Amino acid sequence: MRGISKHFGAVQALTEVDFEVYPGEVVALVGDNGAGKSTLVKCVAGTHAPDGGKIVFEGREVKIASPSDATHLGIETVYQDLALCDNLDVVQNMFLGRERVQRLIPLAVEPLSEIEMEKQALGVLESLRVTTIDSVRTKVASLSGGQRQSVAISKAVMWNSKVVLLDEPTAALGVAQTEQVLALIAQLREQGLGVVVISHNLAEVLDVADRIVVLRLGRRAATFERGEATPDDVVAAITGARMLKIGGNR
Amino acid sequence: MRMAQDDLATPQTPPDGIATVVQERGLRGSMRTLMTLGLRRVRQGELGPLPVILGLIVIALYFGSQTSWIFLNARNMSNLVLQIAAIGSVATGIVLVLLLGEIDLSVGSIAGLTSAVLGVLVVYHNWPWWLAIIATLAVGAAIGAFQGAWFGLFGVPAFVVTLAGFLAWQGVQLRVLGPNGTVNVFEPHIDNIAATYLPTIWGWALGVGVAVTYTAANLIKQIRRRRAGLSSQPLAVLLVWTTIIAAISLGAVGYLNSYAGVPTAGVVMLGLVLFFVWVTTNTKFGRYVYAVGGNIEAARRAGINVTAIRIWVFTLSGMLAAVGGLIFTSRLTAASTQTGGGTFLLEAIAAAVIGGTSLFGGRGSVWAALLGALVIGSVSNGLDLMSQPPEIKYMVEGGILLVAVTVDAISRRGRAAAGR
């Protein structure tokens, strides 16, 4: 993303922000409240259309005008509220809106092919090493926060997606469950996906991210490569106490 | 055969020598698993049809004992089936609407209006019976689609749209019937729906058909799941369910046959219930209805066209209300100004809720329509047999509805407490 700008009325939410994520890389997007993290993610996810700048995906310039444009490109977003149906089970949630059917009589009688979906869901969960879910036929309502997050992320990556945006994936989780989700994020990187994590938790960000991008007041304030930042540096960049590597020109 | 059984009963194929032991352990073990799972579900507030089935047994025993068992005799049961055919059909539509988390208050008026349309078309305009029936169902569907669109497109709460419909369609019903009011419908095909019974042999065929289809479908499913390497039900559980379903369907047919046979109207209702059970559990449409009722935002983000689902569900509700109107016309051999009025609307909604459909959306099954209609119908029928006046009937039915909704609300709290 090059020079992305976005304003809401008189409020300039993003000012010429550059942002990039490469396959097999976890990028953390951090910043104080109102720094523009969510707005930036929504521009990539297709929920907001940027006012200026361009988006380059796999070497060519693309327009992302709607969430389905993003999905078609292979960009999936997991929002904080997860968007799962409590009254449906794991498989049903993972395939929601993209169910597999058997074409008994095309367009007239097309029963769901539950077996195929269940097999595929199990395959995805296994490939992501999600082992905490006993049965994929459990209603999502009875899963723990970490399990729900795992389901939401698995759902996002099972469609040949290339980039996954995670909005505060561990915000509501306990220690053990956070571990699960961080392991899952590492697993996504293993599989060659580009992962963008929005987070407030610096310890966790330093632990999992290959790169940390700091937004401040709608601008990119700093960039840290893995291992080169201390928590103090990041906090300083977030609060604006010190400016490092302004603009980030990778 | 033996091997095949063992194969189904236990996950791993046991060595020959211990096959019997393992099978027994498999049977007992699976029953125990079933019990534990069942208990856990009850504690977590997933009651399913359990309360209503217990309720039905209590009701049957109470009214049986109070009427020197006249309530339970074959003739009265046959009568009961006829009495609940209309409510069961209309409640099927209500279940669909409740699954969305909405309500349809217009179904009584739609049943009344469509009954009037049917009568007027056949009697005043001499339409052939089949064309009049198609037109009647189309009118119901069109009204439902109109209300659904108003709700889905303009975002006016369904409660208000259908409340307006409740009044308006009643007005249209009176206008359609004209100054003469009641239209007597002496058209043999239409009247026969509620006046005829399946010949004994066809009744048996129906009962056997239901049992065999259920068993075969379930068996094929379990075999395919095993082949796909997925967890499958142990054979013992399958056997238990098959026995229960076969006992119920054959028992009911045999009992009804001992009087006059299975009432045709009952077959219509059962067919509708079974069809919509299939639709809600086996099609994309059904899945989307549950998804919209469960989490509308998730449904929308999954790319589901929420507005279209809403319009479809209200269309179906309107059409099923028209089926109710058709059955009414047939039973009364008339379309009257009273048809679909009175307590009918509330009884249909009560049936859906008593049957175990949550008012909060996303939980329940179309079976609720049948079970709930049986409860409402039994109470009404039983009180009539005890020669209780209508005021008692109203109070009892009101009380039962309140209990059913309370069970729903409390089990919802149970789910919340269990982290659901």
Q: What is the pLDDT of residues A95-130, one digit of tens each?
A: 998 899 988 888 888 899 999 999 999 998 988 888
Interface test with B, best of A81, A87, A107 (most B CBs within 10 A): A87
When divided into structural domains, chain A yields a total of 1
Q: Which strands sit side by side in the sheet containing A211-216, from one edge to the other?
A: A75-78, A163-167, A194-198, A25-31, A211-216, A219-225
What global pTM score does this model have?
0.88
pLDDT for position B12: 36
A contacts of B221 (beta carbons < 8 Å): 115
pLDDT for position A203: 82
Give the residue carrying structure tokens 């300083």. Answer: A236
Give the residue carrying structure tokens 């993209």. Answer: A98
Is residue A240 predicted with pLDDT exceeding 80? no
Residues 160-219 of A with CB under 8 A from B: none
- Give the pLDDT mean for B201-227: 93
The conformation of residue A143, written as its DSSP 8-state character, comes to: S
Q: Do B419 and A144 touch (CB under 8 A)?
A: yes
Q: What is the pLDDT of residues A152-190, one digit of tens each?
A: 989 888 887 889 999 888 887 888 888 888 888 998 998
pLDDT for position B231: 85
Do residues A41 and A29 lie in contact, with contact meaning Cβ atoms separated by under 8 Å?
A: yes
DSSP H/E element including A189: helix A175-190
- Give the pLDDT mean for B109-131: 96
Q: Do A111 and B282 touch (CB under 8 A)?
A: yes
pLDDT for position B27: 59
Do residues A16 and A5 lie in contact, with contact meaning Cβ atoms separated by under 8 Å?
A: yes
**Which is higher by pLDDT, B336 or A60?**
B336
pLDDT for position B95: 97
Domain spans in chain B, listed from the N-terminal domain onward: 49-196+263-411
> Is B293 in CB contact (< 8 Å) with chain A?
yes
pLDDT for position B19: 34
Instruction: Name the most confidently modeled range: A47-61, A85-99, B395-409.
Output: A85-99
Is residue B39 predicted with pLDDT exceeding 90? no
Instruction: Name the most confidently modeled range: A99-103, A215-219, A238-242, B406-410.
Output: A99-103
Q: Which residue in chain B is spatially nearest to A83 when comparing CA positions?
A: B298
**How far apart (Å, rounded) are the C-alpha atoms in residues B318 and B141?**
5
Interaxial angle between packed helices B188-195 and B306-332, expressed in degrees from 0 to 180 and rounded to the nearest 10: 90
DSSP H/E element including B323: helix B306-332
Give the residue carrying structure tokens 């459909």. Answer: B357
pLDDT for position B40: 66
A contacts of B290 (beta carbons < 8 Å): 85, 87-88
For residue B11, what pLDDT band results from cuts at 50, 70 and 90? very low
What the block records as the tokens of B409 is: 């609300």
**How far apart (Å, rounded) are the C-alpha atoms in residues A7 and A13?**
5
CB atoms inside a 10 Å sphere around CB A149: 27
Handedness of CA B275, B280, B282, B286 (dihedral sign): positive
**Domain B49-196+263-411 = CATH 1.10.3470:** yes
- Give the pLDDT mean for B96-121: 97
> In this prediction, what percent of chain A has a pLDDT beyond 90?
16
Q: What is the pLDDT of residues A176-186, one digit of tens each?
A: 888 888 888 99
Q: What residues does A105 pair with on adjacent strands?
A: A109
pLDDT for position B194: 94
Q: Do B294 and A88 touch (CB under 8 A)?
A: yes
What the block records as the tokens of B119 is: 């009568």
For residue B317, what pLDDT band results from cuts at 50, 70 and 90? very high
Cβ contacts of A39 within 8 Å, gap of 6 or more: A6, A13, A14, A48
Q: Which residue in chain A is spatially nearest to B37 when comparing CA positions?
A: A138
**Which is higher by pLDDT, A20 or B195?**
B195
The conformation of residue A128, written as its DSSP 8-state character, comes to: T
What is the domain extent for residue A118?
A: 2-239
CB atoms inside a 10 Å sphere around CB B83: 23
Q: What is the ipTM score, two decimals? A: 0.85
- Give the pLDDT mean for B137-148: 98
CB atoms inside a 10 Å sphere around CB B101: 17
Do residues B265 and B82 lie in contact, with contact meaning Cβ atoms separated by under 8 Å?
A: yes
pLDDT for position A178: 86
- Give the pLDDT mean for B297-322: 94
Is residue B9 predicted with pLDDT exceeding 50? no
A contacts of B303 (beta carbons < 8 Å): 68, 71, 97-98
Give the residue carrying structure tokens 């239409």. Answer: B190
Give the residue carrying structure tokens 């490569």. Answer: A225
pLDDT for position B386: 94
Residue A244 placed within a domain: no
**Nearest partner of A222 among A233, A230, A231, A232, judged by Cα:** A233
Give the residue carrying structure tokens 């009697």. Answer: B123
pLDDT for position B38: 67
The overall average pLDDT reported for chain A is: 84
B343 CA to chain A: closest CA distance, Å?
32
Cβ contacts of B171 within 8 Å, gap of 6 or more: none
- Give the pLDDT mean for B391-402: 88
For residue B135, what pLDDT band results from cuts at 50, 70 and 90? very high
What the block records as the tokens of B256 is: 């009804």
Interaxial angle between packed helices B2-9 and B19-43, expressed in degrees from 0 to 180 and rounded to the nearest 10: 40
B131 CB-contact burial (10 Å; exposed 0-12 / middle 13-18 / buried 19+)? exposed
Is residue B60 predicted with pLDDT exceeding 70? yes
**How far apart (Å, rounded) are the C-alpha atoms in residues A61 and A1?**
9
> Is A138 in CB contact (< 8 Å) with chain B?
no
What the block records as the tokens of B31 is: 């029953």
Is residue B37 predicted with pLDDT exceeding 70? no
DSSP string, B88-148: HHHHHHHHHHHHTT-----HHHHHHHHHHHHHHHHHTS---HHHHHHHHHHHHHHHHHHHH
DSSP H/E element including A26: strand A25-31
DSSP string, A73-122: HTEEEE-TTTT--TTSBHHHHHTTTS--B--SBTTTB--B-HHHHHHHHH
Q: What is the pLDDT of residues B353-377, one digit of tens each?
A: 999 899 989 999 999 999 999 999 9
pLDDT for position A61: 86
DSSP H/E element including A213: strand A211-216
Give exposure, A55-87, as e/b (b: 16+ Cβ within 10 Å). Answer: bebeeeeeebeebeebbebbbbbbbeebbbbbb
- Give the pLDDT mean for A51-78: 85
Residues 230-289 of B with CB under 8 A from A: 230-231, 282-284, 287
What the block records as the tokens of B306 is: 């929420």
Nearest CB to A142; choose among B231, B283, B418 = B418
> Is B224 in CB contact (< 8 Å) with chain A?
yes
The overall average pLDDT reported for chain B is: 88
Is residue B2 predicted with pLDDT exceeding 60? no
What the block records as the tokens of A174 is: 């306990």
Do residues B380 and B393 lie in contact, with contact meaning Cβ atoms separated by under 8 Å?
A: yes
pLDDT for position B22: 37
Q: What is the pLDDT of residues A74-101, one digit of tens each?
A: 888 888 888 899 999 999 999 998 899 9
Q: What residues does A76 pair with on adjacent strands?
A: A164
pLDDT for position B332: 94
Do residues A212 and A235 lie in contact, with contact meaning Cβ atoms separated by under 8 Å?
A: no
Is residue A215 predicted with pLDDT exceeding 70? yes
Residue A143 placed within a domain: yes
Q: For the domain that residue A217 is a member of, what is the CATH number?
A: 3.40.50.300
- Give the pLDDT mean for A203-225: 85
Do residues B71 and B330 lie in contact, with contact meaning Cβ atoms separated by under 8 Å?
A: no
pLDDT for position B413: 78
**Nearest partner of A141 among A77, A79, A93, judged by Cα:** A93
DSSP H/E element including B82: helix B74-99
Phi, psi (degrees; rounded to nearest 5) at A160:
55, 35
**Nearest partner of A78 among A33, A45, A48, judged by Cα:** A45
Q: Which strands sit side by side in the sheet containing A2-8, from one edge to the other?
A: A11-17, A2-8, A52-57, A60-62
**How far apart (Å, rounded) are the C-alpha atoms in residues B405 and B109?**
24
Tell me the CA distances in angstroms from B292 to A109, A213, B278, one per residue in order.
22, 37, 18
pLDDT for position A20: 86
> In this prediction, what percent of chain B has a pLDDT beyond 70?
87
> Is B55 in CB contact (< 8 Å) with chain A?
no
Phi, psi (degrees; rounded to nearest 5) at A220:
-80, 115
pLDDT for position B212: 95
DSSP H/E element including A234: helix A231-239
Is residue A248 predicted with pLDDT exceeding 70? no
> Is A119 in CB contact (< 8 Å) with chain B?
yes
Do residues B144 and B317 lie in contact, with contact meaning Cβ atoms separated by under 8 Å?
A: yes
B31 CA to chain A: closest CA distance, Å?
19
Is residue B160 predicted with pLDDT exceeding 70? yes
Q: What is the pLDDT of residues B327-358, one digit of tens each?
A: 999 999 999 999 998 889 999 999 999 998 99
**How far apart (Å, rounded) are the C-alpha atoms in residues B167 and A120?**
50
Do residues A150 and A130 lie in contact, with contact meaning Cβ atoms separated by under 8 Å?
A: yes
**How far apart (Å, rounded) are the C-alpha atoms in residues B173 and B125?**
17
Instruction: Name the amino acid, one letter, at B153.
Output: L
